[in-house]
């Protein structure tokens, strides 16, 4: 069994669903179910005995100790995090509590459990920490992409909290020998993403006939990675990554925010035409985000060369799949906007250890 934290969030839920589609190995899925955790996303797994869901906080050491002792996972895949930059600017403390203190608590629990294992189990155990390219800061237009040796220079409270968690993971390997792995990924997109991030937000607002707000001049550049490709990369790192190593995972798809919004409008014009013209008519520029990083880009050479991973989706194919998914699942979007999705777990059969 593997233990996944944050497995009701966007990337975590996609990873759990993909894992159980590709493997017979069970998953212990723990998630605090904050606003970004959607238990309804896991509905396809309700009757799958390989999926055990526990509503738990990674900051609860006693709860974690009990879960490790009972389920005895061979690996931890740590997604649980606060991740929205705008929210980190207005409320940084939640990011420190979850991303820094929560990760430290999880590391302590994992280390104690690891020490309790037999030698063969200890050597096979892995702690995979999922992080972000934002820890590296902002790139100049012609600068080379972030590599695993790029110095850290986080610019937002979110990025700083993730940088701190990365350093803790590194320290637990160096100091205690805990067999850790760290991945730093570029911007993810795909199904089940909470509609506060750029791509689902633009789709949702376009379908509702609302303005499509673009920060500043719209020329901020991001490297886009389809979430299914990210999940396959994590599986590759977990299976064959070297303990103590870091692997950068990117889609090799750099686009300005304005380009992304225009592409979304083009797809929507084809799959859900407006009666009065193009969705581009809804675009509006708004005041830029504080400290908005200008460009991110990931050099994924290491994971490609050493582990044989490369993205299966182009940005064109991945974005088309994504837009069509949200158009076909407007009920999921509306449940997120109304808050109805937060009742899903309470109304379900209780699941406990």
Residue 282 has pLDDT above 70, yes or no: yes
CATH code (residue 39): 3.40.50.720
Helix (H) or strand (E) holding 4: strand 2-5
Q: What is the number of other CB atoms lying within 10 angstroms of the CB of residue 130?
A: 26
User: Is residue 67 one of the residues assigned to a domain?
Assistant: yes
Q: What is the pLDDT of residues 228-246, one digit of tens each?
A: 999 999 999 999 999 999 9
Question: Are 107 and 172 contacting, i.e. CB atoms less than 8 angstroms apart?
Answer: yes
Output phi, psi for 195, to 5 deg: -80, 55
pLDDT digits (tens, 9 = 90+) for 23-32: 999 999 999 9
Q: Is residue 239 part of a domain?
A: yes
Catalytic residue among 31, 56, 82, 134: 134
Total domains present in the chain: 1
Q: For residue 353, what pLDDT band results from cuts at 50, 70 and 90?
A: very low
Please give the radius of gyration of the chain, using alpha carbons only, rounded to the nearest integer: 20
Q: State the average pLDDT over residues 269-278.
A: 95
| Tokens linked to 304 | 């490609």
Q: Crossing angle of helices 257-271/315-328, nearest 10°? A: 50
Active site residue 133: yes
**Cα–chain center distance at 303:** 18
| 255-276 mean pLDDT | 97
- pLDDT at position 348 is 52
Mean pLDDT of all residues in the chain? 95
Q: What is the mean pLDDT of residues 144-171?
A: 97
Within 10 angstroms of residue 240's Cβ, the number of other Cβ atoms is: 12
Q: What is the pLDDT of residue 47?
A: 92
- Give the range of the structural domain holding residue 313, as residue numbers without chain letter: 2-347
From 56, 82, 133, 299, the catalytic residue:
133
**The pLDDT of residue 346:** 66
% of the chain residues with pLDDT over 70: 98
pLDDT tens for each residue of 69-83? 999 999 999 999 998
Mode of pairing for the β-strands spanning 126-132 and 75-78:
parallel
* pLDDT tens digits for range 175-232: 999 999 999 999 999 999 999 899 999 999 999 999 999 999 999 999 999 999 999 9
Which candidate in 39, 136, 158, 326 is catalytic? Answer: 158
Q: What is the C-alpha to C-alpha distance for residues 312 and 310, in angstroms, rounded to an integer?
A: 6
Residue at 290 is within a domain? yes
- pLDDT band for position 352 (50/70/90)? very low
Share of the chain above pLDDT 90, in %: 91
- The answer to the question of residue 353 being in a domain is no
Six-digit token pair at 90?
Answer: 């207005």
Residues 102, 167: contact at Cβ < 8 Å? Answer: no
Cα 94 from chain centroid? Answer: 17
pLDDT at 338: 85
Question: Is the pLDDT at 166 greater than 60, yes or no?
Answer: yes
pLDDT confidence of residue 337: 83
Domain assignment of residue 324, yes or no: yes
Claim: this prediction has a pTM higher than 0.85:
yes
240 assigned to some structural domain = yes
| Statement: residue 299 has pLDDT above 80 | yes
> Are 244 and 179 spatial neighbours (Cβ–Cβ below 8 Å)?
yes
Q: Is residue 352 part of a domain?
A: no
350 has a pLDDT exceeding 60: no
Instruction: Judge residue 41's burial from the number of C-beta atoms within 10 Å of its C-beta, 0-12 exposed, 13-18 middle, 19 or more buried.
Output: buried
Band of residue 340 on the pLDDT scale cut at 50, 70, 90: confident
User: Which residue, 184, 148, 179, is CA-closest to 165?
Assistant: 184
Mean pLDDT of 54-81: 98
């Amino acid at each position: 069994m593997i233990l996944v934290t944050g497995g009701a969030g966007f990337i975590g839920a996609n990873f759990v669903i993909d894992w159980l589609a590709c493997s017979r190995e069970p998953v212990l899925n723990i998630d605090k179910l904050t606003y970004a955790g959607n238990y309804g996303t896991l509905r396809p797994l309700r009757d799958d005995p390989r999926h055990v869901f526990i509503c738990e906080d990674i900051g609860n050491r006693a709860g974690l100790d009990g879960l490790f002792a009972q389920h005895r996972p061979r690996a931890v895949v740590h997604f649980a995090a606060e991740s929205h930059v705008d929210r980190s600017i207005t409320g940084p403390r939640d990011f420190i509590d979850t991303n820094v203190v929560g990760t430290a608590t999880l590391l302590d629990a994992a280390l104690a459990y690891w020490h309790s294992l037999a030698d063969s189990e200890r050597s096979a155990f892995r702690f995979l920490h999922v992080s972000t390219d934002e820890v590296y800061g902002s790139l100049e237009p012609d600068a080379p992409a972030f590599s695993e040796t790029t110095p850290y220079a986080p610019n937002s409270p979110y990025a700083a909290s993730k940088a701190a968690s990365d350093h803790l993971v590194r320290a637990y390997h160096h100091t205690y020998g805990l067999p850790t792995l760290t991945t730093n990924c570029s911007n993810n997109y795909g199904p089940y993403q909470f509609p506060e991030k750029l791509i689902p937000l633009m789709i949702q607002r376009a379908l509702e006939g609302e303005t499509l707000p673009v920060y500043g001049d719209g020329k901020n550049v991001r490297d886009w990675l389809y979430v299914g490709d990210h999940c396959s990369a994590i599986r590759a790192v977990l299976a064959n990554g070297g303990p103590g190593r870091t692997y950068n995972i990117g889609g090799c798809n750099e686009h300005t925010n304005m380009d992304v919004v225009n592409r979304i409008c083009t797809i929507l014009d084809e799959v859900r035409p407006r009666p009065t013209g193009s969705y581009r008519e809804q675009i509006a520029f708004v005041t830029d985000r504080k400290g908005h990083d200008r460009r991110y880009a990931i050099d994924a050479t290491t994971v490609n060369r050493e582990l044989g991973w490369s993205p299966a989706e182009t940005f064109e194919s991945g974005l088309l799949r994504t837009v069509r998914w949200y158009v076909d699942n407007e009920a999921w979007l509306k449940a997120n906007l109304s808050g109805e999705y937060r009742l899903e777990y309470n109304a379900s059969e209780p699941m406990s250890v």
